[in-house]
Each structure stands twice: as C-alpha cells, then as structure tokens.
A and B are shown apart, each in its own frame.
Chain A
Amino acid sequence: MKQFMKHRMMKTAALAILGAAMVGGSAVAADKWDGGDDLPTSPLACDAGPAAAAAAKPYDGGQSTGAPDKAGKPITLVDVPKLIGIGYFNATSKGMQDAAKEIGNVKVTTDGPTEAKIDEQIKFIDNYITRGVDGILFAANDPVAITPVLKKALSKGIHVVGYDANSQPDARQWFINQAQFNGIAKAMVDAMAKEVGEDKGFAIVTSTFTTPNQARWIAEMSAYAAKCHPKLKWLETVEAQEDNVLSFNQATTLINKYGDKLSGLFGMTSVATPASAEAVTKAGLCGKLAVVGLATPNAMKPYVNAGCVKSVVLWNPVDLGYAATYVMRAVVDGKLKPGATSVDAGKLGKLNVINGSEILLGSPFIFTKDNIKDFDF
C-alpha cells in the first residue's frame, strides 16, 4: 500500500513539475551526449598504446605484519570469491590454476559461499585465517563489511590481494582493477568506428541517465569520440532501466525512428546489449546495424554466433584470476612493494599500478565469434 501510494504521489509530483522542467530541459549543451555525467574525463590516446600514467597517488594499501619470509618458497593460497559455482568465478578460478601451474611453487584453492552473502564470506575467510594460509585472494561482497576480517588476516602475517570487487584500500595490500572507465570507453568507440565506419550515426541504450557507472562510461566515450572519431554522429541516448523488455522496446523504437540513419547501437548494460541485439535481429537488420556493448558472454552467444554482433566488450575473468595470482606471488617474493609502478604478470606482461594500490588488468577484452565459446558466465 505504502509503496503504491508513494508511486502515486511521485507521479503526481512529477506531473506538477512537468511544465517547469520542460522549459528548463531545452537548454542542454549540444556537444555532449545525453546520459553522460559532468565529471572531468580523461580520454586515452587514439592509437593502441596504453595511456601515460596519471599523476601518481601514494600507496594507500595495507601491510601484512610479521609475515614469514617465503620468497621463492612454496606457498598456499586460498581464493574466496563472492560466491562459488557460477561461470564468472569459475573463470577467475581457472585463471588462478593456470597461473599456479606456470609459476610452479604456488598452490591455490577456491572456496567460498554458494550465495553472494557477506556474512558467509566473512566466516570462510575467518576459518582460513585460523587454519593458516600464506595468502588470501578475495572478491568482496561488501567493501566495508569485509574490512575487519581482512585486517585481521593482515595482522596475522597473511598476505591479502583483492580482485573484481574491492574492499577499503587499507584492508588489503593490492587490488586488481579489471577495467577503467576510459579504457572501456575507448574499446567501445573504437569497435563501433571499425564496424560501421567513421562518419555514421549511432544511438545509445543505457539504464538511466543518472546510473553512476553508465554515466561515467558515456561521458568518457563522448570525450574519446570527440578526440579520436570526430565524425561519428551521436543521434540519441535512451533510458531503459535494467529492464529486458523495455530495453528491447526502446531499441526497436530507435530502429523504427531513424531507419537508415542509424548504423550502430551501443548497449551500456548487460541487459541493454542483448536486448538491442534481439531488436536488430527481429528487425531483420543483422549485418546492417551494428551492436557494440558491455555484456556477459552467455547472454550474447546466440547473437555473436549468428554473426549479428561482432564485439562484446568486457574484461577477461580468466586473466583477472591469473593476474591476481601473479601479484600475490610478487608480493610474497618482495618484488611488488609500496611505491612500485608496475608488476610482471606472466603472459600478460607488465601491468601498471594505478590509484595508489591498484593494478590495472589492461585493455578491456573483446568477445568475438572466435573466443566466446571459451567462456561460460
């Protein structure tokens, strides 16, 4: 009842400000894409090279106290992801095993809750602290709630490295950051320009104009396109919340509205991208209208395999787990110390340190027809 009344009241209020907002809404700057935020952007260089490191931020991670010196000696690690049994964390786990095999003197076990619950995750970590391990790898269910148990691990001489989902910086030594906003933005816009050509029109399907991550990505995409693909023509951004059917309907409406003027669609969420691909499929425009977007591979397999979608942008979770293991080995060996600017991560090469105590995985990963079958999440 309350909820219902609230909606009613919200609707009434929305109606009341309709007139005022309509007047105010017309004064929007034309050079920025709708749906981006107003924060400063830092577009990457147009060529493939990685961007120059941003202004160095001092190390803000924690320290493991009283850890035994195991440099070059065998170590035992435990990996506690948000939850076990799903494709995504199976993939990070596989990356860890690959790295462990390559390095030789690392043993890593993945263990964790079957549901993404922070209290369960804390229990698992606590148990492993008691049992004794050399290092803990984690992907936090809650950045704040996980902090005390990680600090406890550090205080008992256990090394702590996070990946995928961070804790507060001082509760772990390093965190592997899977992707930065400007990196994703570059990958998206480059893929679109490559697929449709430099002077074509495109539209964006996002969640809402105010969703923080999406707004950041769109702002970075806008800045990067202005710098590196100035002739690409942004037509419109539509909101579709995180709703499958609404995303489909919105994408369909864009296709009907613009016809030939629309050469590409960006999907900004893992909901909007498959729904946009479905809209293009149903309109019979596969191959004529490109879809580039952020999405997880399973939802995109039908469209990628059918040749309807060529580029699905995300990061590679196998590489993420692989990098986390290499970073942990480097920490134990004393090769990655506060103040370092990069770390060696096997086949991934040198990974850069950013934001004080984070390690950037590298450029985003693009799922294509050739590699998408190797992923199950």
Chain B
Amino acid sequence: MSSIVISRLRPGEGGALRLFASQEALLAFAIIGVAILVGLYNPRFLATRNLADIVLGNAYIAVAAIGMSMVIVSGNIDISVGSLIGVLATISGSLAVAGVPIILVWLTPLMVGILVMTLQGAVVAYLRIPAIVVTLGMLSILKGGLISVTGGRWITDLPQSFHLADIELFGILPMPVLIMVAATILAALWMRYSASGRAIFATGGNAEAARLCGVSPQRTVVMVFALHGLFAGIAALLFATQLKVIQSTVPPNLELTVITAAVVGGVSILGGVGTVVGSTLAAVLIAEIASALVFINVSPYWIHAVQGGLILVTVVADILRRRRRQVGE
C-alpha cells in the first residue's frame, strides 16, 4: 500500500505523486483555481494591480503565520499573537512620533516581540503549563494593557520615513512581498535542513523520543517561541507601516486568521507536521478569497464561514491521513 511507503519516506523523497498530493501543491492549485473562476465572472479580478494589492495588504499575516506554524509544529499554540502585534505596532508608532532614530523604531518591536514570546515559551516549557492557557493570559494582559495605556488614542502624524511597507526595492519590488517571500524561504530551509529546525518536528512529534535522541524539548520550545516573537515583530512592523494611522487597539480576530493560515497550510494541530511554505500559501489563499467575495458580490461575512470550512476540511483530512498511516503501520 502506498501509504506505508509514503510514511517511511523522508520528506521530499516521494517523487511526483507525493509532490502533487502535498498540501502546498493543493493550495497552489486552489489559488490559481479561485483566480480563474473569479476572473471568468469578473475579469477585473485578474488585473495585476488587484492581485498585487491582495498580497500587499495581507503579507503581514503570512509572516506571522510562519512563527505560528513553528509553534504549532512544536506541539503548542499561541493565541496572544494578534494582541502582541497590536501592542508592537503601537510601540513602534509611538517611538516614530517621538522622533527616535528610524532604525530603533524598526528594531524595537522585534526585540520586544522576542522578549514577550521567549517569556511565554519559558513558562510553557519549564513550568509545564499548557500553551493555550499561558497565551490566553498574555492575550488579556496585552489587550487590556494597550487600552489602559493609550486610552484608545490613535497615533497620527507618523513621519514619512517610518513607512517601511511603502518602500519599493529597485522601484518595483514592494517591501512586504519581499519580506514575506524571503522569510518563508529562509524559515523553510532552516526547518528542513538544520538540526535545530528538525528538533522542532521531533519535539512536536514525540517529545519523549526527541529527548532520548538528545534533543531538549524544553530548549526547543523556548527557541520556537523566541522565533515566533521575531516573526510577530516583523509582522507588526509591516502592519503598522502600511497605513498613516495606528489604531492603538488590538486588531480583531487577527490571532484566529494567523492560526487558520497555519492550519490550512498543512500544519497538524497535533504537532510534528507542517511547513511554512504551506502557511504562506494559505495566507495568500485566504486573502484572495476575501477579495473574491467582494468581486462576486457576496457579503464579506462569509469569509468567516469560508475560513471555518477550510479549517474543518484540513483538520479532518489531517486526522484521516494519520489514521490511515497508523493502520498501515
């Protein structure tokens, strides 16, 4: 049975069949399929400008989903990321308005992101408190803290130099897309080929076995959260610098969208399986569908139903796949 063969192969050695059946390929087909269908209904959907806008406006979600994928692969979850992005955006914007040198304005959210997430990772790893509880606590702290400190006041009058997301490299390559693609490729290569990257899969797949093989699950979890913090910081920067106003509140349901991108991207909620190429493609697909709904005159409220449907399909497929594999073995 082919499932037995596949399960014994190392990733990437399955040949053409496996490549076409992979989550990444399915997502790529889905992205192209949606584009063609909506394009037939309304050709304006396929205008370069519209396709670029879809990716530009949502690149930050893909970047945040990279870190989230790592966290979920390691067998954890983080529901504080949306709030953290809101807080980091506000910090960055406040520094910019205060006239702090722009390089510090850009680096501070990354540093604070790493700090907050490392702290959470340490609590999860060493105090053995489930990640969902720890990050739920952090979600409340960040959300409440942000409103208390800022009073909900918006940040306006941001200096022009602040707007990282508006920079176009060589005049054509927009920064958000560049960062999204580069971060995805680097993270994918690192997770696949480095020892510390593989340790994430080992920890999420079977922590005890990983420990016996010389991998420290605790240290891996802290490292994963720290990296997740870094990606959250980058996402916050893209999020904050694309518009001229920062709202100083937590973006509603952002954590859910990020988790959806990771899960639909093929990251198993049970841990141990998943790629960041998948999560980035999924983020693009979700953004594409949101835009498509407007083009085909469907209320954007359906995006929640569509996201929910995608999650259910992916999770059920994942569990079925696992079951078949267990039966095969």
Chain A residues with CB under 8 Å of chain B are 1, 3-4, 7-8, 10-12, 14-15, 18, 25, 83, 86, 115-116, 209, 236, 238-245, 248-250, 252-254, 256-257, 259, 271, 274-275, 278, 283, 298-299, 301-302
Asked if A253 and B53 make an inter-chain contact with CB atoms under 8 angstroms apart, the answer reads yes
Chain A: minimal CB distance from B277 (Å): 23
If A11-B307, A245-B57, A299-B156 are given as contacts, then 19 extra A-B residue pairs at C-beta distance below 8 Å, sorted by A number, are A1-B133, A1-B136, A3-B79, A7-B253, A11-B304, A11-B309, A12-B308, A15-B305, A15-B308, A18-B305, A115-B148, A236-B294, A244-B251, A248-B57, A248-B242, A249-B57, A252-B53, A257-B50, A257-B295
- B256 interface residue per 8 A CB criterion: yes
Q: Given the known A-B contacts A252-B53, A253-B294, are A12 and B312 also in contact in the complex, defined by CB atoms under 8 Å?
A: yes
**Cβ contacts under 8 Å, A242 to chain B:** 252
- B290 interface residue per 8 A CB criterion: yes
Residues 235-258 of B, flagged 1 when their CB comes within 8 A of A and 0 if not, give 000010011111100011100100
Pick the residue among A1, A238, A298 that contacts B300 (CB under 8 A). Answer: A238
Least CB separation from B133: chain A residue: A1
Asked if B245 and A256 make an inter-chain contact with CB atoms under 8 angstroms apart, the answer reads no
Asked if B251 and A243 make an inter-chain contact with CB atoms under 8 angstroms apart, the answer reads yes
Taking CB atoms and an 8 Å cut-off, the chain B residues in 23-69 that contact chain A are: 42, 44-45, 47, 49-50, 53, 57-58
Between A240, A256, A257, the greatest number of chain B beta carbons within 10 A of the residue's beta carbon is seen for A256
**Cβ contacts under 8 Å, A301 to chain B:** 156-157
Chain A: minimal CB distance from B250 (Å): 10
Pick the residue among A239, A241, A274, A283 that contacts B252 (CB under 8 A). Answer: A241
Asked if A259 and B44 make an inter-chain contact with CB atoms under 8 angstroms apart, the answer reads yes
Q: Given the known A-B contacts A18-B305, A256-B53, are A245 and B294 also in contact in the complex, defined by CB atoms under 8 Å?
A: no
A and B contact pairs by CB, cutoff 8 A, 25 listed: A4-B132, A8-B308, A8-B311, A11-B305, A11-B308, A12-B312, A86-B153, A116-B151, A209-B299, A242-B252, A244-B246, A245-B242, A245-B243, A248-B243, A249-B290, A252-B53, A253-B53, A253-B291, A253-B294, A253-B295, A257-B45, A257-B295, A274-B244, A278-B244, A298-B154
Pick the residue among B243, B299, B305 that contacts A239 (CB under 8 A). Answer: B299
- B2 interface residue per 8 A CB criterion: no
Asked if A257 and B156 make an inter-chain contact with CB atoms under 8 angstroms apart, the answer reads no
Asked if B300 and A4 make an inter-chain contact with CB atoms under 8 angstroms apart, the answer reads no
Chain B: minimal CB distance from A307 (Å): 15
**Cβ contacts under 8 Å, A302 to chain B:** 156, 244
**Cβ contacts under 8 Å, A250 to chain B:** 294, 300
Chain A: minimal CB distance from B270 (Å): 16
Q: Given the known A-B contacts A18-B305, A244-B247, A278-B243, are A257 and B57 also in contact in the complex, defined by CB atoms under 8 Å?
A: no
Cα A209 to Cα B302 in complex, Å, equals: 13
**Cβ contacts under 8 Å, A248 to chain B:** 57, 242-243
Pick the residue among A116, A239, A245, A256 that contacts B49 (CB under 8 A). Answer: A256
**Cβ contacts under 8 Å, B294 to chain A:** 236, 238, 250, 253-254, 257
Chain B: minimal CB distance from A84 (Å): 11
**Cβ contacts under 8 Å, A244 to chain B:** 243, 245-247, 251
Between A1, A11, A14, the greatest number of chain B beta carbons within 10 A of the residue's beta carbon is seen for A11
Chain B: minimal CB distance from A191 (Å): 21
- B297 interface residue per 8 A CB criterion: yes
**Cβ contacts under 8 Å, A259 to chain B:** 44
Cα A236 to Cα B132 in complex, Å, equals: 40
Cα A222 to Cα B252 in complex, Å, equals: 29
- B193 interface residue per 8 A CB criterion: no
Cα A12 to Cα B308 in complex, Å, equals: 6
Cα A18 to Cα B307 in complex, Å, equals: 13
**Cβ contacts under 8 Å, A253 to chain B:** 50, 53, 291, 294-295
Asked if B309 and A15 make an inter-chain contact with CB atoms under 8 angstroms apart, the answer reads yes
Chain B residues with CB under 8 Å of chain A are 42, 44-45, 47, 49-50, 53, 57-58, 79, 132-133, 136, 148, 151, 153-154, 156-157, 239, 242-247, 251-253, 256, 287, 290-291, 294-295, 297, 299-302, 304-305, 307-309, 311-312
Asked if A299 and B154 make an inter-chain contact with CB atoms under 8 angstroms apart, the answer reads yes
Cα A283 to Cα B56 in complex, Å, equals: 13
**Cβ contacts under 8 Å, B304 to chain A:** 10-11, 14
Least CB separation from A254: chain B residue: B294
Least CB separation from A7: chain B residue: B256
Q: Given the known A-B contacts A11-B305, A14-B308, are A115 and B151 also in contact in the complex, defined by CB atoms under 8 Å?
A: yes
Q: Given the known A-B contacts A12-B312, A249-B58, A256-B50, are A299 and B245 also in contact in the complex, defined by CB atoms under 8 Å?
A: yes
Cα A11 to Cα B308 in complex, Å, equals: 5
Chain A: minimal CB distance from B123 (Å): 16
Cα A290 to Cα B262 in complex, Å, equals: 38
Asked if B243 and A275 make an inter-chain contact with CB atoms under 8 angstroms apart, the answer reads yes
Chain A: minimal CB distance from B170 (Å): 19
Cα A254 to Cα B295 in complex, Å, equals: 8
Chain A: minimal CB distance from B244 (Å): 5
Least CB separation from B308: chain A residue: A11
**Cβ contacts under 8 Å, B305 to chain A:** 11, 14-15, 18
Q: Given the known A-B contacts A14-B305, A239-B300, are A252 and B57 also in contact in the complex, defined by CB atoms under 8 Å?
A: yes
Cα A238 to Cα B297 in complex, Å, equals: 10
Cα A283 to Cα B47 in complex, Å, equals: 13
Chain B: minimal CB distance from A159 (Å): 30
Pick the residue among A12, A209, A249, A257 that contacts B42 (CB under 8 A). Answer: A257
Asked if B245 and A257 make an inter-chain contact with CB atoms under 8 angstroms apart, the answer reads no
Q: Given the known A-B contacts A11-B311, A18-B305, A248-B57, are A83 and B151 also in contact in the complex, defined by CB atoms under 8 Å?
A: yes
Pick the residue among A3, A116, A275 that contacts B136 (CB under 8 A). Answer: A3
Asked if B312 and A15 make an inter-chain contact with CB atoms under 8 angstroms apart, the answer reads yes
**Cβ contacts under 8 Å, B251 to chain A:** 243-245
**Cβ contacts under 8 Å, B308 to chain A:** 8, 10-12, 14-15
**Cβ contacts under 8 Å, A25 to chain B:** 299
Asked if B151 and A86 make an inter-chain contact with CB atoms under 8 angstroms apart, the answer reads yes
Asked if B151 and A236 make an inter-chain contact with CB atoms under 8 angstroms apart, the answer reads no
Cα A257 to Cα B53 in complex, Å, equals: 12
Asked if A239 and B311 make an inter-chain contact with CB atoms under 8 angstroms apart, the answer reads no
Cα A25 to Cα B245 in complex, Å, equals: 35
